[in-house]
Every structure is written in structure tokens, then in C-alpha cells.
Amino acid sequence: MFEGFVVFLFGLVLGSFANVCIYRMPRNLSVVKPRSTCPKCKSLISWYDNIPVLSYIFLNAKCRHCDNKISLIYPLIEIVCAVLFLLMYLLYGFSYMLPSFCILVFSLLVITAIDFEFQIIPDEFSLLLVIVGLSTSFLNVFLADTVLMRISQSFLGFLAGGGTLFIIAIIGKWVFKKDAMGGGDIKLMAGVGTFVGWEKVLFVIFLASLMGSIVGICLIIFKKISKKEAIAFGPYLAISSLLVLFLPKPSIIIQTIFMLEEQLLLKYFFPHLQNLR
């Protein structure tokens, strides 16, 4: 219980840093210095006005110096980061892999926010995921039981994640005569693949494509975007990457779906065949 509380608090602190990355990185600003300032009046934000979530509440969502409204996005990012860290703790416990997977979910959170607004994925996070995923693969029980299999699965995940989207990008450009896949998406999936392996990274791409297609069609139907307008794919890749951490292997999911379909068909469409089994 105490360990989970500590992980949650650490997630809140890293969530505050995530806000810094989300604001500064797309604008090519340093995430280290200078200190945080109010976007409107440029006044330095004191440490006691920069406490995750609590400062937002105590300041009544306004800057202490100019009463500029503070966006609700800031505390939401902090809370989401803390919840994701807690989920990683519940999934892996206080183990060697916890820091690595906290880096994964932190990166996915920042990437989602940046790509959603600016349609770019910072290479720094994709490269970070590749380095951390490969270097800690021998500890990653998520991949396999033996050390050798874990390392090979991580490397195959790197190739499958980046390679699949790279091939899609080449085919898309040849068919549509324009870029169909961003380089950031390719690098992101290469990084995620080092954590989840080749089988699940392919499932990530499938889920993201399905979600992106559904959302894109709905936006077109409700005339929020035009048919030729591109939507950010990174958020769907990031969300799908988080989902597969809690889902069983794709082969088990597919087998379960086939079994359910078979049972439904036998029960409602071919009930007479049940006696023949």
C-alpha cells in the first residue's frame, strides 16, 4: 500500500515534468531551463505554486500574478501520469522492470499530447524507448521466460514495429503519391516493439488502425474534417500500446473470438449440429 502511494506521488511529480515537455518541446525550447513562467505575464512560478494538482486547486486555477486562467489540462496530465505509474506498479510490482515501464507510459503520454496538438512525435522519446527497451530486455518478463528469448523478442519487436510501418509508408506513398505515414510513427513503433515484442506490436498497429479509422470516419460524417485532411496517428498508437500491456497474447484473443463465434453460430443458426458433436 505504501509503495503504491509512493509510486503515485512520483507519477504526479513526473506528470508536472510531462507538462513542461508537452509545452516546450514542440516549440524547440529547453525542458531544463529557464524555470517555469506564466505564458501571459512571464512571471516566474515559485515552487509552492508548482506543486502538482494542489497548486492548481489552491490558486483557484489562476496565475498568482496576473489572474490568467490555468488550463485544466495541466492537472489532468499530472493525474493521468500518476494513475499510469500506479497501474504499472500493480502490473509489475516493485520490480526491476517498473522504472522501464514507467518510462514507457510517461513517453506515450507526452507523445499523445504533443502529436494530438502539433502532429509531431519528438525523436527524443522514440530513441529513449529503443535504448531503454533493448537494454532492459533481459529483465522483461512481459516478453518471455528465458533471458535469451527476451532479448530476441525485444529485437524482433523493434524490427516488426518499425519495419511494418516503414513498409506501409512506402506502399502508401507509391499508391497515393504522398506521405501516408510519418517518420515519427515508425520510430515510435520501433521503440514500443522493444517492450512488447513482435506479436503484440503488430496487434498495437492493428488496434490503432481500427481506432483511427473509426474516429476518422466519424469526424468526416460530422464534417469536423475533410476527406483529404490528415489526422494524428500517434495518439492511437500510444493508446493501443497501453492497452496491449493489459491484454493477453493476440493468438489467445483470436482463439477466444473464434470460439465465441462458433458457439453463437451453433446456438442460434445451426442448433441441430450441436447433437452431432
What's the rounded mean pLDDT across residues 122-127? 93
Q: Round to whole Å and give the CA distance between 266 and 262.
A: 6
Q: Provide the percentage of residues in the chain whose pLDDT is more than 70.
A: 89
Query: Picking from 121-135, 158-172, 197-211, 214-228, which range would have the lowest pLDDT averaged per residue?
Result: 214-228
Domain ranges in the chain? 1-94
Predicted confidence (pLDDT) per residue in 48-57, tens digit: 888 899 999 9
* pTM listed for this prediction: 0.87
Predicted confidence (pLDDT) per residue in 127-156, tens digit: 999 999 999 999 998 898 899 999 999 999
Residues 6+ apart with CB under 8 A from 96: 136, 139
Nearest to 16 by CA among 57, 72, 84, 74: 74
The pLDDT of residue 272 is above 80: no
Nearest to 191 by CA among 229, 228, 237: 237
Q: Round to whole Å and give the CA distance between 134 and 69.
A: 42
Predicted confidence (pLDDT) per residue in 229-268, tens digit: 778 888 999 999 999 998 767 667 666 666 776 676 666 6
Predicted confidence (pLDDT) per residue in 222-236, tens digit: 777 777 777 888 899
